[in-house]
Amino acid sequence: MTTLANISSVTPSLKSEGFDVNAIRSDFPILQSKVYGKPLIYFDNAATSQKPKTVIDRIVKYYEHENANIHRGVYHLSELSSNAYEGARDIVQKSINAAKREEIVFVRGATEGINLVASSWGRANLKAGDEVLISQMEHHANIVPWQLICEEKGAILKIIPVDENGELILEDFHRLLTEKTKFVSIVYVSNSIGTINPVKTIIESVHKYNIPVLIDACQAAPHLSIDVQDLDCEFLVYSGHKIFAPTGIGVLYGKEDYLNGMPPYQSGGDMINIVTFEKTTFKEAPHKFEAGTPDISGAIGLGTAIEYVNNISRSAVHKYEQTLLAHATEKISAIDGLRIIGTAKNKIPVISFAVDGAHPMDIGTLLDFEGIAIRTGNHCTQPLLDRFGVSATCRASLAFYNTIEEIDFFAEALVKVIKKIKD
C-alpha–C-alpha distance, residues 205 and 211, integer Å: 9
Is 358 exposed, middle or buried (CB count within 10 Å of its CB: 0-12, 13-18, 19+)? Answer: buried
pLDDT at 15 over 90: no
Tell me the pairing of strands 131-135 and 156-160: parallel
Q: Which pLDDT tens digit goes with each residue over 150-172?
A: 999 999 999 999 999 999 999 99
What pLDDT does residue 5 have?
46
Identify the weakest region by mean pLDDT among 16-30, 135-149, 181-195, 326-340. Answer: 16-30
Window from 95-104, 188-197, 265-274, 310-319 with minimum mean pLDDT: 265-274
Model confidence at 391: pLDDT above 70: yes
Whether the per-residue pLDDT at 230 is higher than 50: the answer is yes
pLDDT band at 16 (very low <50, low <70, confident <90, very high): low
pLDDT of residue 270: 83
User: How far apart (Å, rounded) are the C-alpha atoms in residues 187 and 202?
Assistant: 11
- 174 vs 266, higher pLDDT: 174
pLDDT band with cut points at 50, 70 and 90 for residue 254: very high
Q: What is the pLDDT of residue 7?
A: 44
Per-residue model confidence (pLDDT) at position 12: 45
Percent pLDDT > 90 in the chain is 89
Arithmetic mean of pLDDT, 357-375 = 97
pLDDT tier, 4 (very low <50, low <70, confident <90, very high otherwise): low
Query: Which residues have a Cβ under 8 Å from the Cβ of 391 and sit 6 or more positions away?
Result: 378, 385
Note the pTM of the prediction, 2 decimals. Answer: 0.95
Helix (H, G, I), strand (E, B) or coil at 127: coil
Average pLDDT over residues 116-127: 98
When the pLDDT of each residue in the chain is averaged and rounded to a whole number, the result is 95
pLDDT recorded at residue 383: 98
Residue 183's pLDDT is 98
For the segment 247-273, the average pLDDT, to the nearest whole number, is 93
Please, which contacts does 155-159 make with residues 24 or more away whose CB atoms are closer than 8 Å? 155/126, 155/127, 155/128, 155/129, 155/130, 155/131, 155/182, 156/129, 156/130, 156/131, 156/132, 156/180, 157/131, 157/132, 158/131, 158/132, 158/133, 158/134, 159/133, 159/134, 159/135, 159/383
List of domains in the chain: 12-51+314-422 (3.90.1150.10), 67-310 (3.40.640.10)
Confidence of residue 14 (pLDDT cuts 50, 70, 90): low
Examine the pLDDT at 381 and tell me if it is beyond 60.
Answer: yes
Residue 8 has pLDDT above 50, yes or no: no
**Catalytically active residues, by annotation:** 380
Query: Can you tell me the mean pLDDT for 62-74?
Result: 92
User: Is 50 exceeded by the pLDDT of residue 87?
Assistant: yes
